[in-house]
Every structure is written in C-alpha cells, then in structure tokens.
Amino acid sequence: MQTDWPLGALELKVLDLQREVDFYEWFGLTRMAGDAAYAVLGAGDASLLRLTALPDGRPRPRHTAGLYHFAILLPSEEELGGFLRRALEEKLPLTGTSDHLVSQALYFDDPEGNGIEVYADRPRSEWQYPNGRLSIGIEHLDFERLLRIAAPPQPKFSAGTVLGHMHLNVSDLDGSQAFYESLGMELMAEAGGIMRFMSWDGYHHHLGINLLEGRDAAPVTPDVSGLRSFEIRRLEADQTDPNGILLAPPLL
C-alpha cells in the first residue's frame, strides 16, 4: 500500500448490493468487510471501494454531474498485461482501451453503469510537456506487446494497487478547477475545451473533469445511484465540491 498516495477509496450508492459485490469480487477486488447494507472491497490491506445499498433509489439520469469513471492503478505494466489476458479469457465487460502516453488503460462498466479504468503508468521520464503542458494522448493500445510482457493472470489485484484517479462529469470546468485548486491541485493538461486534468505533486492526474454530460449538468442528489464520495488523504474535514460530491478524509 502506498501510504503517501493522496487518494483513499470511493463510495458508490448502488441499487443491487449483492450483484455489485459479486461483480467486483469477480473483477479482482477482495471483500474486506460488510453486511446487508454495505460492503468494503480492496486489494492487499487497502480499501479501494465502498458500496452502499440505496433502498428505493433510482438510476442516475442523463445530464447530471457524477462519476465518469474511477481508475484502479496497478503497480506495473506486466500486471496490466496479466489483467488484460484475464479480461479476455473471462470475458470481463471491456468497453475500450487506450494508450494515453503517460499510461496504458483498459476500460470497463459495472452492472449499474459505473465506469472503471484499470491502468499502469509509464515512467515519468517518458512524459512529454510540449508548450508547458503535459501531453495526455488517446492512442491505439498495443495489445500484442502488453500480452507478450504479461505477468501470469491472477484472480485478485495485488498489494500496491491504489485508487489512481477519479474522473468526474461536472457542470462548470472553471468552477470545479477553482475548487480543487483550493485543495492544492494544479492543472496539468486540458483537451478540446471540455476536459481538464489536475493533480498534486506533478502526477499526470489524480482528477479528471469534463463537460460530457453538458454544461450546467444537475448536481448529484442523495436518491440517485452512483458516486457519493471519494477520500482525499490531505483533507482535515469533510467537504462537498460544486457538483454535490462529498470529499472526505480516509477512515483509519
């Protein structure tokens, strides 16, 4: 577990808790705690995901703020290659792949439509900064190379796996950026006027924000399934961002 990593775990409100738990255990997380109302899943001794049952909840409508995807960062590209092999063999719900220049990524959806990225970073020495901004691209992923260097597939994510970043649908890029800058993040890159990437400590991004659900998307509400919160280890008290998403310090 990376004890200095700034992100802890995220919490999803779910409509069918058992179905979601079964999916994430199949996906590669380990159930660590829970009861009929909630479950905690993680890798090694680190919790990465909390699922909370939402009785009488409703699915997230379109044109609302919330989760675009959460990203599971693996310790090496060899482990990512092994996970890709398992995803193909077990028919995990793979929805896309990409080489982002700073990282290599696989994309999935859970049964309730929550987006998941599983990725491995490239060495920082390979990152490029044209015009003073980090280059985060969308290139074809070299499947063949990843499978060639793959570690043996494992049923569970290894110790050292962390919540690498969060990517959110927001209503206002400027307002969201200003809020997260107040928490110490800085802008690392932007794409097409609809997407920005922010981080602490020069990382490529701990947070992505985008307008893909439209400008002035409605905020997160308690009765809608999907993202409720994510943990930031540098916070001293709970806060709420402009989109209605709870930010909380990690539970120790």
Tokens found for residue 90: 């077990």
Residue 89 has pLDDT above 50, yes or no: yes
Residue 120 has pLDDT above 70, yes or no: yes
pTM of structure = 0.97
The residue-averaged pLDDT of 208-237 equals: 96
Domain map (residue ranges) of the chain = 7-248
Coil, strand or helix at 58:
strand
pLDDT, tens digit, 9 for 90 and up, residues 60-78: 999 999 999 999 999 999 9
Do 21 and 41 form a contact (C-beta atoms < 8 A)?
yes
Task: Please state, for a pLDDT cut of 90, what percent of the chain lies above it.
Answer: 96
Q: Note the Cα 38 to chain centre separation in Å.
A: 20
**Which amino acid is residue 79, in one-letter code?**
E
The residue-averaged pLDDT of 230-249 equals: 96
Residue 177 has pLDDT above 60, yes or no: yes
pLDDT, tens digit, 9 for 90 and up, residues 178-211: 999 999 999 999 998 999 999 999 999 999 999 9
pLDDT, tens digit, 9 for 90 and up, residues 90-106: 999 999 999 999 999 99
Backbone angles phi, psi at 185, to 5 degrees: -75, 160
Residue 162 has pLDDT above 80, yes or no: yes
Cα–Cα distance, 70 to 12 (Å, whole number): 10
Helix (H), strand (E) at residue 104:
strand 103-109
- Classify domain 7-248 at the CATH topology level: 2,3-Dihydroxybiphenyl 1,2-Dioxygenase; domain 1 (3.10.180)
- Beta-carbon-side half-sphere exposure of residue 14 (alpha carbons within 13 Å): 27
Task: Please state, for a pLDDT cut of 70, what percent of the chain lies above it.
Answer: 98
Res 139: pLDDT: 96
End-to-end C-alpha distance for the chain, whole angstroms? 14
Q: Beta 115-121 vs 162-169: how paired, if at all? A: unpaired
- Kindly report the CA angle at 108 between 191 and 55, in degrees rounded to 5? 105
Cα–Cα distance, 78 to 152 (Å, whole number): 9
pLDDT, tens digit, 9 for 90 and up, residues 125-156: 999 999 889 999 999 999 999 999 999 999 99
